[in-house]
Each structure stands twice: as C-alpha cells, then as structure tokens.
Structure 1
Amino acid sequence: MATFLYKLGRFAFRRRRFVALIWVALLAVAGVGAATASSPAADSFSVPGTESQKTFDLLGERFPGTKADGATARVVFKAPDGQQVTAPAQKQAVEKVVGELKSSSPQVASVSDPYLAKGVAKNGTIAYAQVTYKVSGFELKDDARDALKEAAQHGRDAGLTVEIGGNALQAMPETGATEVIGIVISAVVLVITFGALIAAGLPLLTALIGVGIGVSSITALGSVLDLSSTTSTLAMMIGLAVGIDYALFIVSRYRSELAEGREREEAAGRAVGTAGSAVVFAGLTVVIALVGLSVVNIPMLTKMGIAAAGTVVIAVLVALTLIPALLGFAGKRVLSRKARKGAVAASEAEGGKPNMGTRWARFVLRRPVAVLLAGVVGLGIIAVPASSLEMGLPDDGAQPTSTTQRKAYDLLSDGFGPGFNGPLMLVVDGQGSKDPKAAAAGVAATVSKLDGVAAVTPPTFNQAGDTALLNVVPKSKPSSTETEDLVHEIRGKAGDAARDADARALVTGTTAMNIDVSEKLNDALLPYLALVVGLAFLLLMVVFRSVLVPLKAALGFLLSVVAALGAVVAVFQWGWLADLFGVEQTGPVMSMMPIFMVGVVFGLAMDYEVFLVTRMREAFVHGERPGQAVVTGFRHGARVVTAAAVIMISVFAGFIGSSESMIKMIGFGLAVAVFFDAFVVRMAIVPAVLALLGRAAWWLPKWLQRALPNVDVEGEQLQKHLAPEPAGERPELAKV
C-alpha cells in the first residue's frame, strides 16, 4: 500500500499539470450537470416493509388518480374576540378567501369550503379550508406560494386571524452565515498551524474542489435518483470536514519531509506513501459507516449515506492526487519564511525542543490512571441525559412558535382537539369479503368505541366499491406516546374485526408513518452497530496489527457518541442553552438522528485513531519502546490532529445556523461528538490506555499475523525499497 501510494504521489507531482487539468475538468462537468438538472424531488419517507407503507401503496392502487404526495395547506381562520366565523360578515370574508384560493394557481387541485365540509369548530370561532395541490411541496412554484400568502393577507385585512399550516410553504433549508464563519475559522486555524498562506490555502482549495464535484454530482442526479433535499447539505458538511482534514495531514507530512532535507518530489512521494495510507484507511472507515446505513432499509437514509460516502471517496482521491500536484506548483512556499531560510522549527526536527504534544504525552504517561478515570467519568456524566432520550419525527407542532405553521397547528388544536393535526388513515380492504360495506361499517364501529379515539369519519369507497377509506381523529397530539399506543390498538382491534368479515384493516397517514419509522430505526440500531463496528474492527486490526488497539478504539467511540447524544438531549429535548444555539422549540430528538450520528461519528472518530495511532505504530515498528512510541506519535501528530479537530468542529458547528431542524441537530451533534472524541478519547484516554497496556497493546496472535494481509500503513516495506541515506547527504532513490 505505502509503496503504491509513494509511486502515485511522485507521479502526481511530476505530471501536476495533467492531474490538475483532470480535476478541473471533472469539476466543470459536474457543474454543468448540476446547472442543467431539473429540481430535486420532495423528501421521501418511504419505509418498505411497514404497515403504513403497504397501506400507502394500496391507496395508490385502489384510488387511482389521487396525488397522495401532493402539497397541502390548511388555511385556518379565527374570528375576532367575541365573534364567530358563522356570522354574516365573517362568513363573507372567509368565502372570499376560499374563492381566491381556488383561482390562485393552476397548480391548485381543490379547495374545501369550511361551511360545506364540516370545517367549522363546535364553538364557532375557528374554521379551516383544505387546499390540495397537484404537485409536491418542492415542486410548488413561488407564485403559487405567494398567491396563498396573499389570499391569507386579504383575510387578515378583513379582521380575521389567518394562519397557514401544511407543507405548501415548505422551502429548501438555509444554513445561514454560520456556515461561512465555520470555513473562515478553518482558514485561521490552518494559517496558525502552518504559518504560511500557501500551505493553509491548499487544504481549503482542494476540499472545496472535492465538495464542489460531490455536491454538483448529487444535484445533477437528484431528480433521477430521487434524492432528498437534505442529501446535498449533509454531503457538503461531511465532505468539507474530511476534505480539509485529509489534505491537512498530507501537507503536514510533506512539510515534515522537507524539513528533514528531502527533495520536493521525494517528499511528496513519502508524504502520500505514509500519511496517504492513513488517509485511505480513515476514509474507508467513514465509507463503511455511511454505506452501512443501508441496512436500516429506509431509502432516504440509504441515499443520504451513499451520497455522503461518495463525497468522502472524492475527498480521499483529491488528497492522494491533487494535493501532491498542487504541492509541485507551490514549491517551497508551503514552508514558513523561517523554514525557507533554513531555520527549521525545532518541533519539526528530531531531537528539538519538546512541543505541547510531547509535554502532554509525557504528562499522561506519568498519570495514566488519573487521566483515564477523569476522561471516562467526565464523558459518563455528560452521557446521563441520553437515558431520557425520546425520539420522534417532527410535525408543525415542532416548529418555532413565531411561524404561521405553528400558529395554525395551535389554532386547530384549540378548535378541533390536539389529535386533529395528526389524523390516522384507516383502509378497509374488502376484496375478499362478500359484503365490503358491512365490513367497513363493522371496523368503523369497533374503532369508534376505543378510548383514545375522538372521531371516525364515515367510510369513503373507491370506484370498484371494494375498498373503504376512513379518517380516525385521536384525542391526543400526533407526537405523543398515547397516539403511538392508539395506532397499535387500532391495528389489533380493527384487524380482528376486519378478519371476521373476510377483510383486512390497515392504518397509515403521516402520524402512523412517523411511528413506524421510529420503531424501525430503533430495531435497526443494534444490528447496524454490530455490522459497522465489526467491519471497522477487522479493518483496524489489519492497519494496526493488533487486537487491543481496535477494541480500545471501538469502546472509546461508544463512549464519545453516547456523551454526544446526552448533549443533544440536554439542548434539543430539555432546552438547556437552547437560546445560545438558536433552538426555538424543544421536543423529541429526531428518530434518524441517533443512527445517523452513530454512523458518521464512528467514521470520523476512526480518522483520528488512524492518524494518531498510525504514527505511534510506525515508531514502535522502527524499534522504539511502547511509551516512547506514544510520545513520538504525539510529537508529530498532536498539533495536526488538534488543528484537524478544530477545523472539523467549526465546519459542523457552522450548520447549527440552518433553518432545517434536522440539519441544525446533526451539525450540533457531530460538532460535540468530534470534540469529545478528539480531545477526550483520542488525546487523553487513548494514550492513557496504551501506557497501561505497554507492549501488550501491539500483541497479535501468530496465526492471525499470518492470516491478515500486510498493508504496510507504517511504510516498513517502503523503507526497504529506498536506498540507505548516507550521513550528511541527501537521500538517493532506489529503483522502485
């Protein structure tokens, strides 16, 4: 591996114009594809194998012509205090708005009249009109949204309170200025780390090129592959972070090789052969974790994981080829002025003055038990809130109270009950029944007697008369455990009643779909963890030629991810420091958050494990004692790993400013998880454990040594291909 990458690095350095041209061409092609592609489809919450998805599919078959995924808007009216919407003046104002909505856009499919469709609350103060569109929320044109808002404003001008719920006003998520701030912080950290603008600019430039190709490709394929609206944002988030980090490690190793007196092409080859090997395996762990999300069998999550993994692969390829090519253009300007004048920084030279990494490693080696206990106990305390984790998928009730969607949600709850915002769709399939109408009536009678049911609408039959659709309104709000229990109860009781009539009863709807998604994600978490951790354990065993080092890496990851989940619960569920992070509405943690965070954080956590411990392994293989190898690893890697972690944290934290609650939560969770993993687990717990284990840390049974392939991450085979370096002379190359 190291020898192949050494050759690749030298080739890219020599043929730098050709390599750079290829990457620029790829960026141009991806950019043209993105510019000419059609808009991406709306988010898909398809959950194969669940009852709600089966029912949803059945509705499409039995009720052809219906646009089940079309955008909807609930325009809610409230009369002024002391008046009712049924009063002549108020009714006239409502009907005028309804009339405007019907002719507001060619994309409008239908608009219900509150006074004809039983859309008036019993107290007479609140009414609503249901607007159904022919297209999905993301396909809705701006003029259709503007017409909807304008009609609502006319109602307000007439003295009514008018708010709009539903997904018609749904827009693409915005990240805000904090994302740019994250990149600026990354640039500052790089300048401080390298002391040279050219060296600082290379990781940023190559990361942006890699992300540009990745995100543009996702945009170009968005409509073809039905990618969700958040896929490109998450790919950008992860691609930027790993792209900067991978480039940072190779540039840092290149500078280190130059500082030892090597020629530029040789330094580039050795940098890619050594640090590049770590980049390959670090990237592989991230890809395994992201692609592994497909085992959950939720198409949206699978596509998000594969798209982000593709961006990581591009980041690895950019680091291995474009970085050495650009180093060829940069010359020795990647070094600071002092280094170019021959005054090599002592921290970069063998035997120089101990740097912060060296001093910290020696401190940990002197007090390994105290450092280990402090790290484990500290993260354990932060992880405590994770025991109160509540998961669910958001509805309008999770929106900030200042939004019109949340105001409409609250008005409907006041007028029609909390369950009105999350009605259940009950389908009675009577194809095998002698009397489908009697079967549907029996199911309706059974469901209406349940304690948690507020109302059941009369059955509506399809054209063939063999399938009925009923709406069930719960007494509890959509995201409550009471509604979840009610869905299971309906499926049991209604199913029994339908079977007695040789029919079957199925429950679907947004609320039921959310419940099924949450349950499926919960069931998949442990198998996913076992698969990803198992594969990565084997990969790290190959990299480090050890059993205990990969085990320690996996346990450290679990500790950091549980602590990060505890922080997410404290902020987004309990509301601690909510104002600081711009969390306007607390509530359950999104169902996808834990499993997605586990996947991403595991991959990123292994990055630091590979980068830091590989240097220790390299020193140990070349004859250093275990303790001294730890110090050597920190002397060469601590500063760069610290810079990489700060950069990754700043990139992820930049997405906390997103208007999309899932992006905000993931950005916060990943930033916190990287902080815990890099600075507590990898920088404190790892050296403490290695100090306590000594030589046992690198133990591997002989039979396993023979069975495992030797990928030579530490460059031992590479050294054998290079000629010995005469004292006082520059190294000469052997034929490779």
Structure 2
Amino acid sequence: MALLLYRLGRFSYRHRWLVISLWLAVMVAVGGAAAAFHGTMSNNFQIPGTETQQVADKLKKELPAASGGSAGIVFEAGDGPFSQAAKDAVSAALTRLETLPDVQSTVDPFATQTQLEQAAAELAAGEQQAAAGRQQLEQPAAELAAGKAQIAAAEQQMAAAGMPPAAIEAQLGQQKAALAAGQEQLDAGTKDLDAGAAQLALAQRQLDASQGLRLVSEDGTAAIAQVQFKTSINGLAPEVRQQVQDIAGEVSAAGVTAYASKEITEDISELFGISEILGIAIAALVLIVMLGTLIAAGLPLLMALVGVAVGVGGTFALSGAVDMSSISPMLALMLGLAVGIDYSLFIVNRHRGQVLAGMDPEESVALATGTSGNAVLFAGLTVIIALAALVIPGLPFLAVMGLSAAATVAVAVVVALTLTPAVLSVIGSKLISKRAWAKAAKHNAQPGHESEDRARDERRSSHGWGGLVTRHPVVALLAGVALLGIIALPAGQLRLALPDGGSEPVDSQAYKSYEVTARSFGEGTTGPIVVVGDLPAGLTEAEAQAKQLDVADALRSVDNVSAAVPVALSTDRRTAVFQVIPAEGPASASTVQVVSDLRGNKTEIADATGVSIGLTGQTAGNVDVSAKLGDALPPYLAIVVGLSLILLLLVFRSIVVPLLATGGFLLSLAAAFGAVVAVYQWGWLGAVFDVPNPGAVLSFLPIILIGVLFGLAMDYQVFIASGMRESYMHGESAKHAVRSGFSHAAAVVAAAAIIMVSVFAGFIFSHLTMVRPLGFAMAFGVLVDAFVVRMTIVPAVMYLLGEKAWWLPRWLDRILPDVDVEGAKLRTTGAGSDAANVEPVEAAAR
C-alpha cells in the first residue's frame, strides 16, 4: 500500500494541473447538483415500524384534519391583563394565519377560553335550574301522595260500610282520574328532569375532562394559540416559518409580544455561525505557529474546505430525494473540517521536514504520501467504518447521518492523497519561510551534522513529555486512568431525550415561548401527548361521546397527567383523538414515565371501555427514538469495535496494540459521557457553556459519539503507534522505539488534536441547539483521548510491555496481509532512501 500511495503522490505532483482541474470540475458539478436538487432539511426523527409512526399513519388516513403538525404561539400582554384591543389584535393575527396555504386552522385562545368558562357557567346555571325544578315537583308529588292516601282511606271506609264496589268506583272515580292525570304530569316532569340531569352529568364530565387545560392564564397576562398545519412541522419550508412569525409579530402594535415555539422558530437552513468560524480561526492560528508561513498554514485549510465542499455539497444534492435531518450536513461539516485539516497536515508536515533535510521536492512529496499518507488512509478507514456502521441500528435518519459523514471523510482522505501533492507541487519552495530555508541550509552545511542530529533527537526523545512518561510509566498510567475514571463518574446517570424549547438560548424566541408557557400554563403544555382511540362500530353520536369521556377519565387517572381532553372525532365515529397534558416538560423523566404508563394501561382501558388506544405525536415519538437508540448502542459498539480491531491488527501486526487502542477509547468515551452529563444534564459550568435549563442529553449523541470518537481515537493511535512501529522495524529496541517514535509524532499529533478540538468546540455555541452537546462531547472526547490516552497511557503501557507489545502468533503473522503502514517497502525498493532522520533538521530550521 505504501508503494502504491508513493506512486500516487508522484503522479499528482507531476500532473498537478490535471489533478487540480479534475477537483475543480468535481466541485462545480457537486455545487450545481446541490443547487438544483437540494430539498428541505427537517428534524424528523420518527422510526418506521414504531407505534408512534403507525398511529400517525393511521391518523393521516382516517382523520386528515388532525394529522398535520401543530405548534404553539404564546402571546404576552405588555402591562397587566389583555385589553379588548389586544385580544382583537391576537384574533386578527390568527385569522390572517389561516389564510396561509400551509395552515389548516388555528385555535383562538380567548374565544376558546370564553367557551370553556361559559360552559362552566351554563353548567352551574343548569344545576341550579334542575334543583329548582326538583323543588317545584316536590309539592305536587306530596299533594298526589296525600290525595292517594285520602282516596285509599275513603275507599276503605266505604267498603267497611258495605257499599258495593260499583258504587264506590262511581263516587271516587272522578277523583282517581284527577290523581292519575296529576301523576302523569309528575312523571313527565320527572322524566324531563332526569334527561336534564343526564345532560348535566355529560356536561360535567366534559368540563372535568378540560380541567387543567387553559388557553388564557389565570391572571389574564398570557395566552397560547395553537396553529394546525396541513403537513408535518418538519416539512415546513423556512419561508413559511418566517411568515408565521411575521404575522404573529404584528400584535406588537397593540402592546402584545408574540413568542413562537421551537417547532416554528427552528432555523435549519444555515450551517455556519460566528462560533464555527471562530473555531476554524483558532485552527488556522495553530497551523501558522506550527508551519511558519501563511501559505503552509492555508494549505490544510484549503484542502479541508475542498473536502467539505464536495462532501457536504453531495449531501445537500441528495436531500431532495432522501429524508434528511438538519444534523446530517452539520455532522459531515464538523468531521470534514476536522479530519480534512488533520490529514493534509500530516502529509504537509512530513514533506516540510524532508525538504528542509535536503530531499528533492518531488521525491519528498511522493515519500510523504507513501508514509504519512498511508497512515492517513488507514486512519480514515477507521473513521469511515465507524460512521458507516450507523446503518446497523436500522434507524433511517441515523443511517443517512452516518453515511453522509462517512462519505465526507472519504472525500477528505482522497483530497489529502491527491490534491495535497498537486498543490504542494504548485507552491514549491514558498511552503517554507526564507528564515527556515536559511537555517536549514546552514545546518546542512555543517560537517558531521548527522551525528549531531541523532544526538539531538536522542536528547529530545528522552527529555520531552514522552521521556517523562516512559521514566515513570506506572505513575503516568495510574494517573491517567484515575483522571478519566473520576471524570466518567457522572456517566452512570445519563438520561436521553430529544431537546425541547427549554434547552434553547435564553435570549431566543423559542426559549421565551417555553418559559412563558411553563410559567403560565405548566411545563406539560409545551409537549402534549397525542392519544388515538379506535371506537367500536355502530355507535350513536351520544354513545361515541360517552366513550370518549370514558377514555378521557381513564387517561386522566394516570399519574402525572394534568388533563386528558377529547379533541376530535371522525365522521364515522370510529376514530377519536385525545390530547394528554403531562405535569412536566416533554424531555422530563416523569413525562417519559407517563408515556410508558399510558401504553402499559392499554389492556385495562380496552377492557373497561371497549376502546383500544395508541400514542403518537412529537413527545411520544421522541421517547420512542430515545428508547430505540439506547437499545441499539451495545450491538453497534460491538460491531464497530470488532471491525476496527481487525483493521488495526492488519496495520500494526500486533495483538496488544489494537486491544490497548480499544481499551483507551473506552476510557475516553466514558469520560466524554461523564463530562456531557455534568454540563448538559446537571448544569455544571452552565453559564460558561450557555446551558440555561439543564435536562436530558440528546438521545442520539451516544451512538454518534461512539462512532466519531472511536474513529478519531484510532486516527491518533495510528499516527502515534505507527511512529513507534517504524522505529522498531528499523532496528531500535522496543522500549527505545516508544520514545523515538513518540518524539517524531508527538508535535504533529498534538497540533492535529488542538485543531480538531478547536473545530469541534466552535460548534458548542452553534445556532442549532441540537448540535451544541455533540460539539462539546466530540471536542472533550478528542481532547482527553489525544493527550491523556494516546500521549500518556499508551506510551506508558507500551514502554512497560517492551517487546511483548509487538507480539503476534506466527500462524497469524503468516496469514495476515502486509499493509506496510510504516513504509518499509519504500526503503527496500530504493524509493525515499534519503529520507532518514528528517525530524532533527526540521527542528533546527525552526
């Protein structure tokens, strides 16, 4: 492989304009495809086959008017309760919203609240009338009873006096007829009262069902309106979202402030923000410090941008044909920038050192591609394997996310191996500053500098960080493991969910909407649960209504349910829709339990009411996604680790090194989880990382972090350990090879890690809240993995093991193909034979 890449590097160097032209053509083609075929991004994380999706599909078929997405808009009065003018302004805005093509209907909070209050008042009045009616019937009933008693007594007296029955009937018949007529009137009145009582009981049940649900706050200062769309919320175009916000904002003229919920305000049309640009700027600064010139520093950045343009552009081009979440291009962007800079940097840094040592530029580029490029190739393969394996859990949105990111990383690898040599050919000697050239020339002109270089290299390897670690390997090992173990402790309380408005920045409209809604109506109003019931066939309207209320009563009996309201009934009276309001927000642990309890009570509700229920809606869907992702973690981790172990076995031809690499990754992963829980779930350093409302961790963060961090951790393992293996294969003792190999790789690996951490950290303050914890987790994970695991624990263990670190059974050595990651075949064939010991020369040139 090293020889093949050597030839590829030479070809790219000699045919630089052909290679550059081909990449320009690819960029233009991908850009045109992205512009022509891109679709609307969404945050639709539904999983086909789950109850949530099945019920949603059924609802769309049987009750289309209730199947579209809905979102809330909170209106807050400026000073005191709403005035009539303010109420009119809100109603007018909602009426205007209904004229939008994408809006199905709106719910006017003031009209609906008035209806609820009128219903309560009418119920109270009806109960008073019923009580008065019963009182009115009490006297006639008493008179009838007295009359009946008198007639009965008279009849007994006449019979005792010996009067014949006919005479008795003739004398009392008229009075009996009058009593019968009175009884008939009394029965009719009682029947009417009973019918009225039944209606009152039904009205009372309806009122009970709506208890806990308010659309206007009790103090009259806030109102929440519902907007029902014809399509799902995730399918709304950015311009439609903006239209809704603009129309709602017109109420400001009446002294009212409108806050649209997160579902409406979420802007997923932009990838870059200020913080992301700042992260790239820090990476550029590191490159300038390391490489010495703007041209040299700009080269890795340019390569990363080309890779991102092609990879992310291709992702956008497919978004019109594939349902794609907004985080897919964001993940591809993060990884494309980070690995694109790093992979190019490894080749450029190797070439720079070799040229300063006096190597011919063409030979240097070819050799750098064959050696460092070989490490880049296998490091990239581990990242690609880890990301592509995201298809294994069977979650469509996750598969698209993983494949798009894997494709972008693959492009970054190809760019590093082809375009970087071509651009290096164009740049030529401008890669290195005149000062560095002068120092290198002076150094190379000194007689006997080779031995001085070797001595300097020896001193550097024994006195730097690698020397310190290998002088105290047991202390370094225990300290590193203890540090990561302590940081990992919070990971045991990891709780997963999808973010709600409470996790948005405090100055955002979405957060203010969440905060006002939670304060005025309860947190549960921000995330209602939709329950769909299948009613028996052949029910009358009254029977169907009674069934709805029976189900609502059963739903309301579940712990932590504030309200359960029937909201829709199909025309055939077979499908009913209920809105269940939990006590707390959609991402809270209690709401997750409510979803579980509702599903657990299905059989009980069906037995009691004859109605089978199913759950759907955003809140239930989020719970399903989190549960599915949690279940997918163990097999995913096993498959990714297993495949990568095989790849590392090929690269290092050792049993111990792959196992050590994997064990170190597990430590880094646990520490990253612990830090995420501490910051985003517990709120530690919340002011620093802009976490105003700590809550559950993003549900698909763990599985993405496993894939990404494992790939990147193996990157650094390849670069660090390949340097050690290269020294070992060239005749050094195993322990000495640890020091010298570490010394040669440490500077570039440290710079690469700082660059990657900077790029990821730029996303910690992204305008997309969903991306923030992911950026933090990857930045922190790379930080501890590079500096604690790869640059401390790994060299300590390798030094302690000595020769045993490179042990491989003979039978396995015979059957494993030799991928030659250290480039030994290049020396055997004579290619790059003058490349020995270039690191000291580069150090002298600085």
| TM-score computed with the length of structure 1 as normaliser | 0.91
Alignment partner of 1:353 out of 448, 451, 456: 456
- 1:123 is matched with which residue? 218
Q: What secondary structure, in the 3-state scheme, does the structure 2 residue paired with 1:74 have?
A: strand
Q: What secondary structure, in the 3-state scheme, does the structure 2 residue paired with 1:127 have?
A: strand
Question: Which structure: greater helix fraction?
Answer: 2
Please give the residue correspondences for 1:80-479 in structure 2 after superposition, counting only pairs within 5 Å.
Answer: 80-81=79-80, 83=81, 85=82, 88=84, 91-103=87-99, 105-118=100-113, 120-121=215-216, 123=218, 125=220, 126-134=222-230, 145=241, 148-172=244-268, 175-338=272-435, 340-341=437-438, 342-343=441-442, 350-354=453-457, 358-359=462-463, 360-430=465-535, 437=544, 442-458=550-566, 460-479=568-587
The CA deviation at 1:144 is 5.0
Q: What secondary structure, in the 3-state scheme, does the structure 1 residue paired with 2:689 have?
A: coil
1:18 counterpart = 2:114: no
Distance 1:213 1:489 in 2: 48
Two-structure CA RMSD over aligned residues (Å): 2.9
- 1:732 is matched with which residue? none
Letter in 2 for 1:270: L
Contact 1:76/1:412, CA 8 A, preserved across alignment: no
- Could you report, residue by residue, the CA deviation over 1:398-431 in whole angstroms, capped at 9, with x for unpaired residues? 2334333333333333444332222111112358
Q: What secondary structure, in the 3-state scheme, does the structure 2 residue paired with 1:427 have?
A: strand
- 1:62 is matched with which residue? 62
Structure 1 range deviating more: 89-98 or 556-565 = 89-98
1:53 counterpart = 2:22: no
689 and 141 in structure 1: CA distance in 2 versus 1, 3 angstrom threshold: closer
Contact 2:588/2:695, CA 8 A, preserved across alignment: no
The CA deviation at 1:160 is 4.1
- Could you report, residue by residue, the CA deviation over 1:555-603 in whole angstroms, capped at 9, with x for unpaired residues? 1111112112222222222333222233333222211122211211111
The CA deviation at 1:606 is 0.6
Structure 1 range deviating more: 309-318 or 40-49 = 40-49
Structure 1 range deviating more: 273-282 or 662-671 = 662-671
472 and 39 in structure 1: CA distance in 2 versus 1, 3 angstrom threshold: same
Structure 1 range deviating more: 451-460 or 610-619 = 451-460
432 and 357 in structure 1: CA distance in 2 versus 1, 3 angstrom threshold: farther
Contact 1:259/1:344, CA 8 A, preserved across alignment: no
Q: What secondary structure, in the 3-state scheme, does the structure 2 residue paired with 1:383 have?
A: helix
Contact 2:532/2:613, CA 8 A, preserved across alignment: yes
Letter in 2 for 1:393: L
Distance 1:138 1:457 in 2: 25
The CA deviation at 1:196 is 3.5
Structure 1 range deviating more: 155-164 or 484-493 = 155-164
Distance 1:413 1:179 in 2: 32
Letter in 1 for 2:63: F
- 2:177 is matched with which residue? none
Distance 1:291 1:18 in 2: 31
Distance 2:228 2:462 in 1: 66
The CA deviation at 1:179 is 2.1
Letter in 1 for 2:22: I
The CA deviation at 1:694 is 0.6
Distance 1:715 1:93 in 2: 75
Contact 1:642/1:678, CA 8 A, preserved across alignment: yes
Letter in 1 for 2:2: A
The CA deviation at 1:308 is 0.8
Distance 2:622 2:653 in 1: 44
Q: What secondary structure, in the 3-state scheme, does the structure 1 residue paired with 2:226 have?
A: strand
Q: What secondary structure, in the 3-state scheme, does the structure 2 residue paired with 1:235 have?
A: helix
- 2:209 is matched with which residue? none
Q: What secondary structure, in the 3-state scheme, does the structure 1 residue paired with 2:287 have?
A: helix
- 1:616 is matched with which residue? 724
Please give the residue correspondences for 1:687-726 in structure 2 after superposition, counting only pairs within 5 Å.
Answer: 687-722=795-830
433 and 300 in structure 1: CA distance in 2 versus 1, 3 angstrom threshold: farther
- Could you report, residue by residue, the CA deviation over 1:192-234 in whole angstroms, capped at 9, with x for unpaired residues? 2222433322211111111111121112222222222222222
The CA deviation at 1:336 is 4.0
| Residue segments in structure 2 that go unaligned for 5+ positions in a row | 114-213, 837-846
Structure 1 range deviating more: 528-537 or 487-496 = 487-496
The CA deviation at 1:283 is 0.4
- 1:674 is matched with which residue? 782
206 and 458 in structure 1: CA distance in 2 versus 1, 3 angstrom threshold: closer
Contact 2:488/2:674, CA 8 A, preserved across alignment: yes
154 and 197 in structure 1: CA distance in 2 versus 1, 3 angstrom threshold: closer
- 2:715 is matched with which residue? 607
Contact 1:283/1:607, CA 8 A, preserved across alignment: yes
Structure 1 range deviating more: 491-500 or 377-386 = 491-500
Distance 1:224 1:213 in 2: 18
The CA deviation at 1:642 is 1.2
Distance 2:826 2:49 in 1: 51
Structure 1 range deviating more: 425-434 or 202-211 = 425-434
- Could you report, residue by residue, the CA deviation over 1:128-150 in whole angstroms, capped at 9, with x for unpaired residues? 22223345657656765555445
The CA deviation at 1:182 is 2.1
Contact 1:433/1:502, CA 8 A, preserved across alignment: no
Distance 1:539 1:255 in 2: 29
Letter in 2 for 1:123: E
592 and 692 in structure 1: CA distance in 2 versus 1, 3 angstrom threshold: same
Distance 2:90 2:831 in 1: 88
223 and 91 in structure 1: CA distance in 2 versus 1, 3 angstrom threshold: same
Distance 1:480 1:139 in 2: 26
Distance 2:291 2:592 in 1: 55
Contact 1:433/1:501, CA 8 A, preserved across alignment: no
The CA deviation at 1:688 is 0.3
Q: What secondary structure, in the 3-state scheme, does the structure 1 residue paired with 2:613 have?
A: strand
Please give the residue correspondences for 1:552-571 in structure 2 after superposition, counting only pairs within 5 Å.
Answer: 552-571=660-679
Distance 2:7 2:243 in 1: 62
Contact 1:542/1:711, CA 8 A, preserved across alignment: yes
Q: What secondary structure, in the 3-state scheme, does the structure 2 residue paired with 1:456 have?
A: strand
Distance 1:358 1:170 in 2: 54
233 and 344 in structure 1: CA distance in 2 versus 1, 3 angstrom threshold: farther
Contact 2:71/2:227, CA 8 A, preserved across alignment: yes
349 and 507 in structure 1: CA distance in 2 versus 1, 3 angstrom threshold: farther
Letter in 1 for 2:388: V
Q: What secondary structure, in the 3-state scheme, does the structure 1 residue paired with 2:741 have?
A: helix
| Residue segments in structure 1 that go unaligned for 5+ positions in a row | 729-736
540 and 432 in structure 1: CA distance in 2 versus 1, 3 angstrom threshold: farther
Letter in 1 for 2:534: D
Q: What secondary structure, in the 3-state scheme, does the structure 1 residue paired with 2:685 have?
A: coil
- 1:734 is matched with which residue? none
The CA deviation at 1:65 is 6.1
Contact 2:498/2:622, CA 8 A, preserved across alignment: yes
480 and 607 in structure 1: CA distance in 2 versus 1, 3 angstrom threshold: same
Contact 1:357/1:639, CA 8 A, preserved across alignment: no
The CA deviation at 1:551 is 0.7
- Could you report, residue by residue, the CA deviation over 1:481-503 in whole angstroms, capped at 9, with x for unpaired residues? 22222211111212343267776
Structure 1 range deviating more: 113-122 or 678-687 = 113-122
Structure 1 range deviating more: 458-467 or 346-355 = 346-355
Contact 2:720/2:749, CA 8 A, preserved across alignment: yes
Distance 1:7 1:113 in 2: 71
Structure 1 range deviating more: 528-537 or 471-480 = 471-480
Distance 2:260 2:835 in 1: 79
Structure 1 range deviating more: 93-102 or 555-564 = 93-102
- 1:76 is matched with which residue? 75
Contact 2:679/2:686, CA 8 A, preserved across alignment: yes
Please give the residue correspondences for 1:20-35 in structure 2 after superposition, counting only pairs within 5 Å.
Answer: 20-35=20-35
